[in-house]
């Protein structure tokens, strides 16, 4: 296991002022950079290295998890950890050039477009086991359940009870292909021409799905705490609003968290005015600061909330699997089930079986726990590198997989959001302009960009952030 490479590690660690786990990670990282370890080399087991260094095994586990998240090593359950084979370059005596996986594909391009989790990080063993189990299921001479396979709906209900504080009845859970499909089903259930209040800036794909299904959008502004409730109430007085779509746990994209008092006011108003509240709970599993507030559905005593989510952020968007939790009773719940029944089953049964297995075995919860640590490390990197630039503000970092960078145009040379996006693209860095998330001219977005950090290695992220920092500082800045 090449433990001989680590004979001098104890002395090296003592010279580095940091936590024990960080010292282990720093030293292994340096051994990769200077060529003592090369791509494909096996690493000692966490137990063996911990015994050699005289530290707790958990210390080495933490260090390996950080290095795995950065793209330096590859860890897989039941197999030896190895130096990532994607770390390639021209090696001179005593030196190895290290390039991150995203930097290999031709033109050293790094995509920081938001919306992607780190898909490849899930345990290969658990992923394959789930699909083998799904493939072993008996073939039935029957049509699939139009609401979704019961086994998956049971697991979704249990997961929500574990992670979001409410456990819906299995009959209230409908399997969809994701957030846009859920929104489309909701609008169809409410009737063509229904007026839907949406946040601006907000989730444009979901808003487009609502329009495609026949809704009329009513843009409502947001602040640091999410949806402006007073503006919503005033808009309803002018012309009735049938549905309000909100992202209360992590407003998309600005990141505001709706306070508990505002959540309670929203639910009381919606109950009094017979308005359906659609809660898009898109990345609540990844909270980086403070305890998460309860889901709206968890405090909904009047039955006015439809809760939607998907496995895109927590697992893999390629699964095209999500869920819609209807209000526990009433006409809206009946209409939603009728729409899904009329459309038929949305997700292939083997996919539902595999996702149900991943949930039932705890693989999803273990994956989420690993990713929380990985995303938290990258989030700290974003915050550290982009903080302190004159006139620049970094937001949306309380949770999730993206950050929003805004600036005062008079304070630096960044220019407009689209201008910065264009300049970054020319240097191989892809981000999104904040103004692309605005719904109408009445609520213009600030100059800014939205960048995703979940799916890239920390090394590639750091290189991209260096380019962004230079552009934000402007010409001639130090």
The listed CATH number (1.10.3720.10, 3.40.50.2300, 1.10.10.10, 1.20.120.1200) that belongs to domain 3-98: 1.10.10.10
**According to CATH, where is 1.10.10.10 located in the chain?**
3-98
Query: Is the alpha carbon torsion for 187, 190, 191, 194 positive or negative?
Result: negative
Three-state SS at 74 = strand
pLDDT of residue 269: 98
User: Does the bond joining 253 to the residue before it have cis omega, within 30 degrees of 0?
Assistant: yes
pLDDT of residue 4: 52
Residue of 277, 275, 279, 232 whose CA lies nearest to 251: 279
Task: Collapse the DSSP code of 47 into the 3-class scheme (helix H, G, I; strand E, B; otherwise coil) and give the result.
Answer: helix
Q: Classify domain 365-473 at the CATH class level.
A: alpha beta
pLDDT number for residue 445: 77
**Three-class SS state of 412:** coil
CA–CA separation, 179 vs 320, rounded Å? 9
- pLDDT reported for residue 477: 54
Residues of the chain with pLDDT under 70: 1-18, 69-70, 77-78, 85-108, 409-413, 475-478
| C-alpha distances out from residue 429 to 101, 254, 403, 418, Å | 15, 21, 15, 13
pLDDT, one tens digit per residue, over 365-408 is 999 988 888 898 899 999 999 998 988 999 999 889 999 999 98
What topology is assigned to 125-361 in CATH? 3.40.640
Q: What is the pTM of this model?
A: 0.79
Please, where in the chain does CATH 3.40.640.10 lie?
Answer: 125-361
Dihedrals φ, ψ of 328, to 5°? Answer: -65, -15
- Outline which parts of the chain fall under CATH 3.90.1150.10: 365-473
Peptide bond into 201 cis (omega under 30): yes
Determine how β-strand 392-395 pairs with β-strand 110-111: unpaired
122, 113 contact by CB (below 8 A): no
- DSSP labels for 428-471? TEE-EEGGGG--STTSPPPSEEEEE-SSS-HHHHHHHHHHHHHH
């Amino acid at each position: 296991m090449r433990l001989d490479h680590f004979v001098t590690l104890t002395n090296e660690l003592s010279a580095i002022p940091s936590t024990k786990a960080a010292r282990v990670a720093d030293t292994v990282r340096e051994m990769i950079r200077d060529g003592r370890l090369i791509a494909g080399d096996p690493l000692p087991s966490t137990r063996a290295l911990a015994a050699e260094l005289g530290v707790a095994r958990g210390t080495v586990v933490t260090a390996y998890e950080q290095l795995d998240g950065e793209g330096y090593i590859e860890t897989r359950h039941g197999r030896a950890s190895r130096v990532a084979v994607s770390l390639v370059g021209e090696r001179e005596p005593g030196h190895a050039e290290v390039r991150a996986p995203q930097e290999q594909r031709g033109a050293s391009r790094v995509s920081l477009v938001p919306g992607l989790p780190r898909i490849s990080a899930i345990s290969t063993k658990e992923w394959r086991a789930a699909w083998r189990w799904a493939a072993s299921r008996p073939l039935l001479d029957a049509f699939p359940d139009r609401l979704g396979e019961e086994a998956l709906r049971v697991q979704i209900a249990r997961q929500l009870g574990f992670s979001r504080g409410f456990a819906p009845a299995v009959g209230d859970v409908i399997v969809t292909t994701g957030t846009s499909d859920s929104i489309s089903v909701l609008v169809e259930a409410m009737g063509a021409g229904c007026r839907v209040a949406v946040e601006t800036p907000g989730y444009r794909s979901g808003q487009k799905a609502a329009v495609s299904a026949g809704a009329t959008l009513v843009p409502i502004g947001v602040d640091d705490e999410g949806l402006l409730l007073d503006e919503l109430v005033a808009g309803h007085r002018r012309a009735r609003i049938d549905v309000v779509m909100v992202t209360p746990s992590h407003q998309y994209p600005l990141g505001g968290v709706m306070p508990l008092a505002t959540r309670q006011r929203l639910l009381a108003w919606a109950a009094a005015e017979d308005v359906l509240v659609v809660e898009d709970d898109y990345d609540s599993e990844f909270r980086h600061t403070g305890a998460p507030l309860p889901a709206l559905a968890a405090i909904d005593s009047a039955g006015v909330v439809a809760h939607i989510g998907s496995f895109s952020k927590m697992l893999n968007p390629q699964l095209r699997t999500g869920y819609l939790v209807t209000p526990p009773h009433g006409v809206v719940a009946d209409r939603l089930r009728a729409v899904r029944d009329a459309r038929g089953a949305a997700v292939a049964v083997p996919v539902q079986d595999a996702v149900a297995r991943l949930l039932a075995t705890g693989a999803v919860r273990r994956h989420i726990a690993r990713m929380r640590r990985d995303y938290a490390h990258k989030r700290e990197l974003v915050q550290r590198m982009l903080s302190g630039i004159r006139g620049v503000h970094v937001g949306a970092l309380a949770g999730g997989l993206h950050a929003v960078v805004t600036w005062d145009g008079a304070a630096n040379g960044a220019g407009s959001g689209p201008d910065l996006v264009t300049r970054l693209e020319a240097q191989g860095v892809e981000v999104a302009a904040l103004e692309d998330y605005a719904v109408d001219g009445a609520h213009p977005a600030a100059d800014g960009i939205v960048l995703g950090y979940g799916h890239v290695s920390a090394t590639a992220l750091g290189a991209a952030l260096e380019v962004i920092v230079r552009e934000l500082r402007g010409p001639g800045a130090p």
